Amino acid sequence: MSSSTWIVVLIKDFGAAKTRLASVLAPEARRTLAVANARRALDSAMQVAPALAVCGSIEAAETATACGAKVIVEGSPGGQNAAAALGLAATASRGGDAALILSSDLPLVDAAALDELLAHAAAVAGPLAVAAAALGRHGTNALYLRPLSDFELQFGDQSLWRFAAEARRRGRAFIVHDDRRLALDIDEPSDVVMWEQLRETA
């Protein structure tokens, strides 16, 4: 893996995370889940490449620092696209020329999954975007960009197709990377059910 590739982990404020799970998880359980997922993402990233965490709170930053990641604390969190843009700018300032932007909401992510996505990207020459598809909502749970600039971020519902269109507009190759370990993010009550089913069959 090139030392100029970084993994940027996006971590929301733990206290405000997972509000859409309020019908199935109590506040402390939602916070515990958010912390556990963040640690898993950070630990996985640190095994693969230099890691930078963009954090929505001091508590999240302390967790990332304890895992060994470089940290940026958002002064005023403005959503996933703003956090990712901060991470890309910080990666560039550290000499990076490629980055994998990674959600911290993925309970199945591991180092092998990140290695495989980056190997997929390394096999393609030239300007590139690789998107790890989210299960069921056509969202994007991880996005690899090379180079870092000249690409408008599109995270949110249906982002997969917007990223594809943006890559075409910018003359980049675009790859959809399918991996169950990167596909499941815990945002809705139905995701909790899916997670429990996957753990039972793992």
Residue 93 identity: S
| Domain span including residue 146 | 5-201
Instruction: Report helix, strand or coil for 155.
Output: coil
Residue 121: both structure tokens together: 């990207």
- pLDDT value, residue 191: 62
The domain total for the chain is 1
Which CATH number fits the domain that encloses residue 111? Answer: 3.90.550.10
Per-residue pLDDT tens digits of the chain, which is 202 residues long = 445 999 999 999 987 765 565 555 667 877 888 899 999 999 999 999 999 999 999 999 999 999 999 999 998 888 999 999 999 999 999 999 999 999 998 999 999 999 999 999 999 999 999 999 988 778 999 999 999 999 999 998 889 999 999 999 999 999 999 999 999 886 664 565 565 565 655 4
Residue 148: both structure tokens together: 């870092």
CA dist 111 → 20, 139, 150, 155 (Å) = 28, 21, 28, 23
